[in-house]
Amino acid sequence: MYKKATLVFFILLQICTLQAVASDVFKGREVFMRECMACHGESGEGKLPGLPNFKEGQTLFKTDSALIDIVRDGKGVMPSFNGLLTDEDIRNVVAYLRSFL
């Protein structure tokens, strides 16, 4: 039973992260540097109080879908990038964020 549950968990994890895997990390870095660096810092350390430190994995435990929603819709003090970034840009940024892990 434990082995079956573990297998199901890893399969679901792969499905949830498939979007970022198929994305372009290098293009994501370009978008991050242009749109996100001012607040999140060049290294993802979070320049402003209350922002996640991506270098420490903060918020990166979320699914790609959840991270995409945050970038697209905004959260807390973070503005929405809906209409400012394409869906592909957002997926690429999420793929780049995963590179901090």
Rounded to an integer, the average pLDDT of 91-95 is: 97
User: Which CATH number is 94's domain given?
Assistant: 1.10.760.10
pLDDT at 7 over 50: no
pLDDT at 20 over 50: no
Of the chain, the percentage scoring pLDDT greater than 90 comes to 67
The domain of 54 spans 2-98
Rounded to an integer, the average pLDDT of 33-56 is: 93
Phi/psi of residue 62, each to 5°?
-70, 160
Q: What is the DSSP string of 3-51?
A: HHHHHHHHHHHHHHHHHHHTS-HHHHHHHIIIIIHHHH-TTSS-SSTT-
Total number of domains in the chain:
1
Which residue carries 């993802």 as its tokens? 44
Rounded to an integer, the average pLDDT of 30-52 is: 94
Please write the tens of the pLDDT for every residue from 61-77. 999 999 999 999 999 99
